[in-house]
Amino acid sequence: MGGADPRSRERRPIGLFGWALRILGGVATLAVLVFVSLLAGVYLFGYLPQQRAAAAFARLSGSARRLAIYDAFVTQIDKHYYDQSFSGFDWPKLRQEWRVKAAAEPDDLGLYNDVFVQVTQRFPTSHVAVIAPPRPSWRPNGTASPNPVSVANTLCMEDHDTGWQLVPFRRGRGFVFVVGEVWPNSPAARAGVTPGWAVTLGQFSKSKGAGRFKGAFVRLTSDQMHGFEATGVLPVSHLAPARVEFQYPCRGTVAPFETRRLPDGALYIRFDEFQAPVLREVEAALKTAGERGAVLDLRFNSGGYTKLGANLLFPQSTPIYFERGATGRRPISTDASTWRYRGPLVVLIGPASASAAEITAAALQHAHRAVIIGRRTNGSVLEARMFPLPDGGAVQIPVDDVEMLDGQRLEGKGVAPDIEVFPTLADLRAGIDPALVRAEQALSNGGVAHR
């Protein structure tokens, strides 16, 4: 019994399906090869050099360690600072002068407090700052040491517990210090500290769950406050400073979100940062606002991600502002599919309202979407990112300029309210928040029409 020789069989056409399988197999193989190559590249040219650099840094101590951190700090600014011409100051001279001081610092604590902080304050723009490592190693050799601040003292929050804000706010290419908000019935209000005063001296000391403040202020009238907060220039320099000293209890931290119903039925919402977890609470609250409207209190808001908040207040795909960087100007718009609040709206602002809070207030004002009440904002309005340092710290660097839709820049200028309100000491001692009173009146008078 015989059989046909397999070699003598005719070759049959593969067919369209067969060719498709071969092509797909080839593409899959190519994709695997590309992925493996990318992984190898990341390992060889990314992860491995980083590991070697980290190991080399870990062997450093003394001035060599401080210089390595300082040089990384300088390099990040050189690469990422939005104004590569460094207009307004001599950056090459500044970085060289402070490098000598960095080498002379005895420990990392001195490097951060006495060098990095001083360098960042000499920049003519906002959003240049440093953050020390979460568990900083302050000894000269880099080994761990206890935090010099006791656990009891860490529960003291100067602004909240004293009842007033020490606010550095940008005017032009510098910053000046002003009394921001003062809490009604607070230790500061009882001691006579008044919103809008110029600050010439402020010292905080803490021990055993309590604190003491000693300071000096220049008393200003409301008209003088208006000019001072607009320009940063004191209208009078011959007045003797008011000296204030008082004690205050240490009560701990304050939640970044608060909401409550006002007597007339409007909803009050205070939120202190434009971050996703907080803004989810803001959204949930706004959905309950009702016809009486809402008051958004941004007087304590230090900023964050502008777009996350704008999504709740503007129509879909609405341009809010422009970013201007090395590649030109590009619009920043709200997302295409989000829920938004459509009811009457009043926004409270003040000297501590910064960055995303300022952009949001200016955008709402430009769109006639809200009544803006309070005092002129901080003037710290640039897009910034955090960049790592080898010891686990980080440097914040502005990477883009911000321009509003009408062409104005808020950096060094701030946002002027529609209705300016300077609380008096009598108001505060009586437990009255006059800016909030004006907000309730604005809503009662119709506020802003539904949009």
Q: What is the pLDDT of residues 428-444, one digit of tens each?
A: 999 999 999 999 999 98
Report pLDDT digits (tens) over 201-232.
889 888 777 899 999 999 998 899 999 999 99
Q: What is the pLDDT of residue 327?
A: 83
Q: 46 pLDDT exceeds 90?
A: no
Q: What is the pLDDT of residue 151?
A: 28
Domain 159-249: CATH class, spelled out: mainly beta
CA 38 from chain center: how many Å?
Answer: 35
Q: What is the pLDDT of residue 210?
A: 87
Report pLDDT digits (tens) over 290-330.
999 999 999 999 999 999 999 999 999 999 999 998 888 99
Across the range 250-278, mean pLDDT stands at: 94
Question: 257-444 architecture in CATH?
Answer: Alpha-Beta Complex (3.90)
Phi and psi dihedrals of 317, rounded to 5?
55, 35
So where are the chain's domains?
62-124, 159-249, 257-444
Q: 286 pLDDT exceeds 90?
A: yes
Mean pLDDT, all residues of the chain: 87
Q: What is the pLDDT of residue 253?
A: 78
Across the range 270-276, mean pLDDT stands at: 97
Q: What is the pLDDT of residue 111?
A: 96
pTM score above 0.85: no
Q: 16 pLDDT exceeds 70?
A: no
Whole-Å CA distances, 423 to 181, 261, 352: 9, 22, 15
User: Which residue did the predictor score with more confidence, 45 or 399?
Assistant: 399
Q: 448 pLDDT exceeds 60?
A: no
| HEC per residue, the chain | CCCCCHHHCCCCCCHHHHHHHHHHHHHHHHHHHHHHHHHHHHHHHHHHHHHHHHHHHHCCCHHHHHHHHHHHHHHHHHHHCCCCCCCCCCHHHHHHHHHHHHHHCCCHHHHHHHHHHHHHHCCCCCCCEEECCCCCCCCCCCCCCCCCCCHHHHCCCHHHHHCEEEEEEEECCEEEEEEEEECCCCHHHHHCCCCCCEEEEEEEEEECCEEEEEEEEECCCHHHHHHHHHHCCCCCCCCCCEEEEEEEECCCCCCCEEEEECCCCCEEEEECCECHHHHHHHHHHHCCCCCCCEEEECCCCCCECHHHHHCCCCCCCCEEEEEEECCEEEEEECCCCCCCCCCCEEEEECCCCCCHHHHHHHHHHHCCCCEEEECCCCCCCEEEEEEECCCCCEEEEEEEEEEECCCCCCCCCCCCCCEECCCCHHHHHCCCCHHHHHHHHHHHCCCCCCC
Q: What is the pLDDT of residue 33?
A: 67
Report pLDDT digits (tens) over 98-139.
999 999 999 999 999 999 999 999 999 999 999 999 864 444
User: Which residue did the predictor score with more confidence, 94 or 237?
Assistant: 94
Q: What is the pLDDT of residue 240?
A: 77
Q: What is the pLDDT of residue 372?
A: 98
| pLDDT level of residue 49 (50, 70, 90 thresholds) | low
Q: 154 pLDDT exceeds 60?
A: no
Across the range 350-376, mean pLDDT stands at: 97
User: Which residue did the predictor score with more confidence, 5 or 154?
Assistant: 5
Report pLDDT digits (tens) over 64-79.
999 999 999 999 999 9
Q: What is the pLDDT of residue 329?
A: 92
Q: What is the pLDDT of residue 8?
A: 47
